[in-house]
Amino acid sequence: MSVFTAAADQSVCAPLAVLGRDVTVPLVTGGEVTYAALDYAASAPALQRVWDDVAAYAPYYGSVHRGAGYLSQLSTDLFENARGTVADFLGCRADDQVIFTRSTTDSLNLLARVLPADCQVFVFETEHHASLLPWQDAHVTCLDAPRTPQQAVKTLERALADRPVSIEGAQRPALVCVTGASNVTGELWPVRELAAAAHAHGARIVLDAAQLAPHHPVDIGDLDVDWVAFSGHKLYAPFGSGVLAGRADWLRAAEPYLAGGGASRKVTRRTDGGVDVEWHESAARHEAGSPNVIGAYSIASACKALTDAGWDTLVAREQHLITRVREGLAEVPQVRILSLFGDDAPRVGVISFVVEGWNSSHFAAALSAEYGIGVRDGLFCAHPLVRTLLGTDPQTQGECGAPEAAPGEKSLNAIRVSFGAGTPDEHVERFVTAVRELVTQGAKWTYRTEDGRCVPAV
């Protein structure tokens, strides 16, 4: 039913054009420079194609699933077509459901809400908090950080083999949650092997693909996972939408994630003054309220753009950037790159490191103020993993992104550089040069702490 067209060229080659690529920022040392966005792991810039598609649709925006008018029908059609596009992007099975959520965090919290009774959840301490924390109401087994992919598989196999497999004669349900690519080290996890181990022991597995989907193809059938969760804002699609896709049975058997309009098929009054509700069994069961149609459409647009650009091309170019950054950092003896699986491990464009003699917040502030480079510093919402990699006390408290180390933890925080399909070579070269100059020559400006952040002194 679409009657609108986007103005953008639909055959953009890698690197894909992103918004903000021409934005200039002031330097404390004087002048301006084009901003180098190297914090893709937190939020990737929107693809120009996504922005153009959304802008082309915006005049036709209407209520979804609610109206008889033309624009409502158009918006409903677009929303459901977006669901189909995401299903194709993920290689969903015929009976899988695609549910639109707010983010990866929301998706995994939804899945946590629909777990069967007495379900045991297995999760490595290396997970992002979005996949580490939602299971607190379940029986959770937190596994130690592995140092090789093979060790990860063996650790999971041992844990699954040791679990009580039945309760009152029935098999106890179990779920494994694992990342596809670390948001700290960028290293790829052995998802297919972990899925095989889970299924061999009667467990299911959910893949946190927040850092994997923007960099590599994700195919549910090929990986043999039961669910996949990811966020639009890391996939070059803004507007606060995410996805949970996978097996429908647990989703259909559980109470809706949110109770309200859209999730209900039929509501009737009872004679005692209460109400009876018949809930939908489709994805609508867990999508109560007016859906974020623009968010869903932006995800679908990003999925199409990445597919059209060609994964072989995108992956090859990103590997070129990864090699350049790692080689550049290796030339600076004071820099230590953080890794679980070693230098030869396959990885995406996410690299964390520490610099001898530097507080991470000070270093990140200098990159921004003196070079126009945006990176991230802190614990990256993966506190146990970063503390393990840095060798600090796992019991010491800290806040996500906090620049100041706790007493006795001089190296608590790290610096993370991340990039992707919209990153030009110049941004990477400027970053490598900046690291070398800051380490060898020092900062050109003085800095102070303000509201917990390191900022240039006025």
What are the catalytic residues? Answer: 381
In b/e form, how buried is each residue of 288-316, taking b as 16+ CB within 10 angstroms?
A: beebbbbbbbbbbbbbbbbeebeeeebbe
Provide the β-strand partners of residue 370.
Answer: none
N-terminal to C-terminal alpha carbon distance within the chain: 56
